[in-house]
Amino acid sequence: MPQHIAIIMDGNGRWAKRRGMPRTAGHAAGASTFKAIARHANKIGVPFMTVYAFSTENWKRPPEEVDNIMKLLKDYLKDAKNFKDENIKVRFIGNLEVLDEEIKALIKEDEEASKDATGMTLNIALNYGGRDELVRATKEICKRVQSGALSVDEIDEQTVSDSLYTAGQPDPDFIIRPSGEYRLSNYLIWQSAYAEFWFSDILWPDFKPRDLDRAIRDFGHRNRRFGGV
């Protein structure tokens, strides 16, 4: 069983287009898939899961589409009992400062409401970018050096890991990207150094719990050497 599954929830737009529907319908369908997959992952005992909900690059999309994604996010956040009943601990990673006040308040509420959950930890990556995360980590480390709390020679890989949003969590060992794209799109670039990848042509709204099971079975057959023999 992977310890930390990271998913790039991609293909909502194409899913809608194929059905002659607006892209927004694809995002709504993708949101339902997200809930079903998170519930399933928790049920089968996945300890950590991180999903890519909105990247630092996604602001390039038409404002109507961005608004629609934020609205779906608000609906999801308002339904905080989602996490309570499921015993899922939810956390948000990314540059959250620039989000609107209502979303920020809801995020706080939901993180607080689920903080004692003992099931899966679910990170929702929102306005997340791997490079942005590394720039922030670099600044944080520099400030600690400037203040004298840390010396340059003390900086090691752990220092960097501890300065990321995912501090304290195991690195993702399994990254799933549906929709037929073969790239990371600025996702967890430090953390994915030794992750296994699983790609599929399935569009995210069509992704089913059995697809997750299949991916996890494949993961079980991977030979992970970490540079050894």
207 touches ligand IPE (CB under 6 A): no
Residue 32 CA: distances (Å) to CA of 86, 148, 207 = 15, 48, 10
x/- mask, ligand IPE, residues 162-181, rule CB under 6 A, reads: -----------------x-x
Tokens matching residue 137: 């980590």
Query: Considering beta carbons, is residue 170 or 180 the nearer one to Mg ion?
Result: 180
Question: Quick check: 202 and 181 in contact, CB under 8 A?
Answer: no
Question: Quick check: 215 and 177 in contact, CB under 8 A?
Answer: no
56 touches ligand IPE (CB under 6 A): no
x/- mask, ligand IPE, residues 184-203, rule CB under 6 A, reads: -x------------------
**210: phi > 0 → left, psi -120 to 50 → alpha, else beta; which?**
alpha
**7: phi > 0 → left, psi -120 to 50 → alpha, else beta; which?**
beta
Residue nearest to ligand IPE (CB): 13
9 touches ligand IPE (CB under 6 A): yes
Q: Which partner in ligand IPE, Mg ion, none is near 40 (CB below 5 to 8 A by kind)?
A: none
Question: Quick check: 2 and 216 in contact, CB under 8 A?
Answer: yes
68 touches ligand IPE (CB under 6 A): no
52 touches ligand IPE (CB under 6 A): yes
Active site residues: 10, 58
Query: Considering beta carbons, is residue 4 or 27 the nearer one to ligand IPE?
Result: 27
CA proximity to 204, closest of 223, 179, 181: 179
Which residues contribute to the site for ligand IPE (CB under 6 A)? 8-14, 30, 52-55, 58, 69, 179, 181, 183, 185
